[in-house]
Amino acid sequence: MYSPTTEGSNSPSQLLSPDPEIGSAAQLRFQKARIKSLTIQLNEQVKGKEEVVKEGKGKERKMRAMGEDIKRMNKTIADFTSANAKMKAKENEQSDLLDGMKRENAQLKKELQESKKKISTADKEHRGREVRLARALEECDKFKSVLSNATKETKNAGGDFRKEKDKLLQQVRSLERQRGELLQAFKKQMKLVDVLKRQKVHVEAAKLLEFTEEEFVKVLEWGN
């Protein structure tokens, strides 16, 4: 930056004052030289001021540019802050969703284990009923055979034949009732298997469906 120079320590009034000991011509030359020197100093000061003003305007432009940069940076920071908050909220939402899915998965596993236990129990009961049904059918066939033989042997036996026949018929009716009860139990068992199948445990339940109700009725009617 320009700083004005001074020549000696004399004030302008002292430098421009005429010296009585110097002649008029010499004083005139001195005054002209002094005016020229002051003019140069003034021009330098004006030039220095213009440079200062120019530099100040440049700094002002830089400050305005820096202000715009600061505004843009603040906006960018605000955008990043907002985006980070949204991402954090989304992360928390996803975390809650994951926790919910884990709980649901654990509950489904628990229900699956319970369904497997029910299927295992139902399978055992079904096999037990099949055994009892087979025995009942076997007994029914035996009594039918006995009844048939008795009918042939006692065809002419009169009252004894009728009593024996009634006795055998009662036994047959008893077996028929047992068969009906077993059939009802089997239907209930099939409904239970169907419920378990809807619970997505169809692999185990499919084993129980191999023996269908139609085949069951056919077996019961086979002896007839």
Please list the ranges in the chain whose pLDDT falls under 70: 1-22, 150-151, 153-161, 193, 196-224
Residue 192 within a domain: yes
Nearest to 219 by CA among 187, 191, 183: 183
Residue 165 within a domain: yes
The answer to whether the beta carbons of residues 7 and 40 sit under 8 Å apart is no
Listed in sequence order, the DSSP H helices in the chain are 12-16, 24-153, 159-198, 202-208, 213-222
pLDDT for residue 129: 78
Give the chain's domain count.
1
Residue 139 within a domain: yes
Tell me the C-alpha distance between 163 and 59, whole Å: 133
Residue range of the domain that includes 173: 114-222
